[in-house]
Amino acid sequence: MDEGTDGTASHAEIRAEVKKLCARFPGDYWREVDRKRAYPGEFVRALTEAGYLAVLIPEELGGAGLPLSAASAILETIHAEGCNGAACHAQMYIMGTILRHGSELQKQSFLPRIAAGELRLQAFGVTEPGSGSDTTNLRTFARREGEHYVVNGQKVWTSRAEHSDLMLLLARTTPREQVRGRTDGLSTFLVDMRQAVTGGMTIRPIRTMMNHNSCEIFFDNVRVPAENLIGEEGKGFRYILDGMNAERLLIASESIGDAKWFIAKAVAYGKERIVFGRPIGQNQGIQFPIARAHAEMRAAELMLREGLARFEAGRACGEEANTAKLLAADAAWAAAEACLQTHGGYGFAEEFDIERKYRETRLYRVAPISTNLILSYIAEHVLGLPRSY
Ligand SMILES: Cc1cc2nc3c(=O)[nH]c(=O)nc-3n(C[C@H](O)[C@H](O)[C@H](O)COP(=O)(O)OP(=O)(O)OC[C@H]3O[C@@H](n4cnc5c(N)ncnc54)[C@H](O)[C@@H]3O)c2cc1C
- Per-residue model confidence as pLDDT tens digits over 280-307: 999 999 999 999 999 999 999 999 999 9
Residue among 89, 127, 162 to mutate when testing ligand 1 (max atoms within 8 A of CB): 127
Predicted pLDDT of residue 1 = 54
With a CB cutoff of 8 Å and minimum separation 6, the contacts of 206 are 156, 157, 214, 215, 216
DSSP letter string, 179-190: -SSTTTTEEEEE
Task: Measure 62 CA to ligand 1 centroid, in angstroms.
Answer: 35
In ligand 1, which atom is closest to the CA atom of 371? Answer: 47
In this prediction, residue 7 carries a pLDDT of 61
Element of type H or E holding 332: helix 318-342
Asked whether residue 341 carries a pLDDT value surpassing 90, the answer given is yes
Query: What pLDDT, on the 0 to 100 scale, is given for residue 5?
Result: 56
Rounded average pLDDT over 219-232: 98
What percent of the chain stands above pLDDT 90? Answer: 95
Nearest CA to ligand 1 atom 35: 372
Q: For residue range 147-197, what is the model confidence (pLDDT) as tens digits? A: 999 999 999 999 999 999 999 999 999 999 999 999 999 999 999 999 999
User: For atom 19 of ligand 1, which residue has the closest CA?
Assistant: 367
Atom of ligand 1 nearest to the CA of 372: 47
Per-residue confidence (pLDDT) for residue 4, from 0 to 100: 60
pLDDT tens-digit series, residues 79-106: 999 999 999 999 998 888 999 999 999 9
What is the per-residue pLDDT for 321? 98
Q: Which amino acids bring their CB within 6 angstroms of ligand 1? A: 124-127, 132-133, 157-159, 208, 212, 214, 363, 366-370, 372-373, 376, 388-389
How many angstroms separate the alpha carbon of residue 79 from the centre of ligand 1?
Answer: 22
Q: How far is the CA of 363 from the centre of ligand 1 (A)?
A: 10
Assessment of whether the complete model's pTM goes beyond 0.95: yes
How far is the centre of ligand 1, averaged over its atoms, from the C-alpha of 311 (Å)? Answer: 25
Secondary structure of residue 202 in the 3-state scheme = strand
Nearest protein CA to atom 7 of ligand 1, as residue: 158
**Structure confidence at residue 8 as a pLDDT band (50, 70, 90):** confident
SS3 203: strand
Instruction: State the closest ligand 1 atom to the C-alpha of 133, by its place in the atom list counted from 1.
Output: 29
Mean pLDDT of the chain: 96
Encode pLDDT of 28-54 as tens digits: 999 999 999 999 999 999 999 999 999
| Protein residue with its CA nearest to atom 14 in ligand 1 | 157
Residue 10 confidence (pLDDT): 87
Residue 172's SS3 state is: strand
Residue 256 has pLDDT above 70, yes or no: yes
Query: Are the C-beta atoms of 369 and 325 separated by less than 8 Å?
Result: yes
Model pLDDT, residue 60: 96
Q: Which atom of ligand 1 is nearest to the CA of 212?
A: 1
Confidence (pLDDT) at 294: 98
Helix (H, G, I), strand (E, B) or coil at 342: helix
Q: Which among 324, 336, 250 has a CA at the least distance from the CA of 293?
A: 336
Q: Are 98 and 230 in contact (CB under 8 A)?
A: yes
Q: Which residue puts its alpha carbon closest to atom 30 of ligand 1?
A: 132
Q: How far apart are CA 77 and CA 86, in angstroms?
A: 13
Element (H, E) at 271: helix 236-272
Chain-centre distance for alpha carbon 357: 16
**How open is the CA angle 122-301-370, to the nearest 5 degrees?**
55
What spacing in Å lies between the alpha carbon of 227 and ligand 1's midpoint? Answer: 31
pLDDT for 86 equals 96
